[in-house]
Structure 1
Amino acid sequence: MRLSFLFGSTLAVAASIWGIAHPSAVAIRLADGTVSFDKPPRLVNASTTFETVNVPGATYYFTVSLPENAGEPLQRIAIAQNQGFDDIRFQLKDSVAFEGTPERKGEKLRLKAVTKDNKTGTITVTFDPPVSPGKTVTIGLDPVRNPWTSGVYLFRVTAFPAGEKAYGLDLGVGRLHFYPSF
């Protein structure tokens, strides 16, 4: 298995050097069974419907693009607040996901689960079924209300492929800025 992985990777590198298109994406599978994307998803944008502090009824959108040659479908996304004065609480049962962007909503996606790790505060959104390569998806999280304190709030986004032993790829941070109401 390890040899086939190295051989396949060598062929892909050689093909890209010579300008030959790789005919199909093959997921990365390590000897221990860990699965990863061949080409990583990309965090396209993070946005909110309301930027004023202490406002109820906002939705925070996180848009991720999964390339055609990802090699594996997207099983879940983890979102963790890692900067901001206030800890934002979410109404997990109201979470949504759909193809496209907030401006161009497409087909609604079914969610298997939306959970929160109480130790880390990480929210994990699991798709059912996993999202196929070549799609752009948006997750909408509803906070109980926007934070009380103005400023920049950062959310680290991690994507996981389908599989029992999935290796999560850090897609970077989504930035939301909240302003005082005057």
Structure 2
Amino acid sequence: MRFAVLFSTALALLTAIEGNAALKSQAVQLRDGTVYFIQPPSLGEVVTTYNGTGVWGATYYFTIGLPENAGEPLQKLTINQHEGVDYIRFDLEDTVAFEGTRKDKGQKLKLKDVSSDRKTKTVSLTFDPPVSPGRIITVALEPKQNPIVSGVYLFGVKAFPVGKKVHGQFLGYGRLQFYSPSIDSFFWR
């Protein structure tokens, strides 16, 4: 309850002083030191290059928009497989991040750490240096292979600002649909 009051008070204060440009560049920091984005990033397009089951060589793209008034740079992203029958493993060494979208690739971003936790089905990426506000970035993950079981696979994406004690902002779910080839595709017509 106390957290809710503190957080709503901080948001009300920020709304009241929205016209002050100097204060817009600062992040929300609670009394306990926890840092929040003023305006959180947003999850954009999430797509795969191949949506057939069992396919090798696919890439999954996650596009994130970091608004000008975020208040803090983006330090870390986590991508958690929330739904889907098969656990999708990734070639972490091949993970890349860049400015722009998959169709309009810009400058490559340096990743300090890319790791995976099989138990929680989560991939974590740490940017070095952190991504400054006002940019669109895309993360490209390469699965070892697409899932064998067809269906919908949901990936929850969280963004973390810079700081020692930060609040991860849930950006939403990226949805990928994988299809089994039909028997007709194996025969000439």
TM-score (norm 1): 0.90
**Aligned residues of 1:39 and 1:69 also touching (Cα < 8 A):** yes
**Aligned residues of 1:12 and 1:22 also touching (Cα < 8 A):** no
Unaligned runs of 5+ in 1: none
2:102 equivalent to 1:102: yes
Aligned to 2:121: 121
Aligned-residue identity in percent? 53
Unaligned runs of 5+ in 2: 1-6, 183-189
**CA–CA separation in structure 1 for the residues paired with 2:177 and 2:58:** 13
**CA–CA separation in structure 1 for the residues paired with 2:45 and 2:103:** 12
- Report the count of equivalent residues: 174
Structure 1 residue runs of 4 or more that deviate by more than 4 Å after TM superposition: 5-11
Shift in Å at residue 13 of structure 1? 2.1
**Aligned residues of 2:75 and 2:131 also touching (Cα < 8 A):** yes
| 1:181 counterpart SS class | coil
**CA–CA separation in structure 1 for the residues paired with 2:38 and 2:15:** 12
How do 1:6-21 and structure 2 match up within 5 A? 9-15=11-17, 21=19
Shift in Å at residue 25 of structure 1? 3.0
- CA distance 1:181–1:165, shift in 2 (3 Å): same
Q: What RMSD over aligned residues (CA atoms) do the two structures have, in Å?
A: 1.8
How do 1:19-168 and structure 2 match up within 5 A? 21-23=19-21, 24-168=24-168
Shift in Å at residue 11 of structure 1? 4.8
Q: Deviations over 1:142-171 (max 9, x none)?
A: 000001011110000000001111110000
- CA distance 1:6–1:118, shift in 2 (3 Å): closer
- CA distance 1:8–1:121, shift in 2 (3 Å): closer
